[in-house]
Amino acid sequence: MTTKVTIAAVGDILMWRRQIAAARLGKSDRFSFDGMFRPVAPYLRAADLTIGNLETTLSGREAQYERRNRKTGWPMFNCPDELASALKRAGFDILTTANNHCMDRGEKGLVRTLRVLDRHNLAHTGTFRTQEASRKWLIKQVKGIKFGILAYTYGTNRIPLPKGKPWLVNRIRKPKILRDLKALRPLVDVIIVALHFGQEFKRFPTASQRSLVRTLFAHGADIILGAHPHVLQPMGFRQVSGAPGLKKKFVIYSLGNFISDRMLNRLQSESGAILNLTIEKNARGHVSLAGASYVPTWVHKRVQGGKLRFRVLPIRRYLRNPDAAISKEDRRTMRRVWHNTTRHLKGKAR
């Protein structure tokens, strides 16, 4: 008898100022993010294991959640805790937290973010509260198949880690990743590595991205999920002879933005994909990567009740059955995004 496990993965979960304002309930200090994810929640819940990249902190209530770094001018993110409960209800099981914004409110914000995720039963990896925690693997067993999940980031937007605490954030350091792969490989059937890397708004991976992926596959990584460019980058299967782990491996260099406001007036920053991977284990205990497909998505904005609203739409479903909030212009945009996404990613789109 063959066991099948489905994995869903999405890219950056960003919360800009206008998105947080859209989630505020009236003039109160309460928020609801559920409506942003309601259209795609059935796709996320349908998977056996759903993973996303949390690219904000949950650092506590503030008058101004989005700030600017005085030295660099780059945004610094924080979001109300209600986001965590909305993500859990939407179907997320695991959130990777190693990214360039994980230190946006310093060590205290990083630690508090993890406490909030724990409170909502959302597993996480990539950042850690203690050195002891950084030495523990995130392993999920689903239908008898063991998955190990690792996450690393290229940097923290020039925000330094406290002295003596390099373990707070997993950085992309090849020797460390290779040590982690070697230690984790005997404990699991499948290793998933989330990499926050690449160049923003570039639709193709750099030579260094490709080189790192080849190295990690050769040392036992099975699935690599890229994020950070804020646009989609190509995906595909790889056959790596003699490598530990699965015979057939898979990479997507960037999953794009799952939810975001438009960035630099680029439509592609509002489009992403829900990646679906099928893992099989046969009667002899052999585990393999059986298939991949994806659901192209688009962040739809509309004014409702005099207020701007955001929601992530599965494009094909809403092209076939648009609701009253979808305008003719929205349909044109969705067709354009569908064309751009499917032409770029190729493969099986749903």
Give 20-42 pLDDT, tens digit per residue: 999 999 999 999 999 999 999 99
pLDDT band for position 218 (50/70/90)?
very high
Is residue 78 a contact partner of residue 128, using CB atoms and an 8 Å limit? no
Give the per-residue pLDDT at 1.
85
Rounded-to-integer distance, Cα 56 and Cα 195, Å: 16
Topology given in CATH for the domain delimited by 3-345: Purple Acid Phosphatase; chain A, domain 2 (3.60.21)
Is residue 84 a contact partner of residue 120, using CB atoms and an 8 Å limit? yes
Q: What is the token pair recorded at 61?
A: 């209530």
Give the per-residue pLDDT at 114.
98
State the DSSP string of 106-159: HHHHHHHHHHHHHHTT-EEESB-SSHHHHTS-EEEEETTEEEEEEEEES--TT-
Give 72-86 pLDDT, tens digit per residue: 999 999 999 999 999
Q: What is the token pair recorded at 327?
A: 């305008």
Q: Among residues of the chain, what percentage have pLDDT more than 90?
A: 99
Which helix (H) or strand (E) element contains residue 178?
helix 174-184
Q: Provide the residue ranges of all domains of the chain, joining segments of one domain with +.
A: 3-345
Give the per-residue pLDDT at 28.
96
Rounded-to-integer distance, Cα 213 and Cα 220, Å: 11
Give the per-residue pLDDT at 305.
86
Residue 260 confidence (pLDDT) above 90:
yes
Residue 65 confidence (pLDDT) above 90:
yes
Interval 139-153 mean pLDDT: 98
**Straight-line distance from the first to the last Cα atom of the chain, in angstroms, rounded to the nearest whole number:** 27
Give the per-residue pLDDT at 89.
98
Place of tokens 């036992």: 220
State the DSSP string of 200-215: TT-SS--HHHHHHHHH
Interval 262-272 mean pLDDT: 96
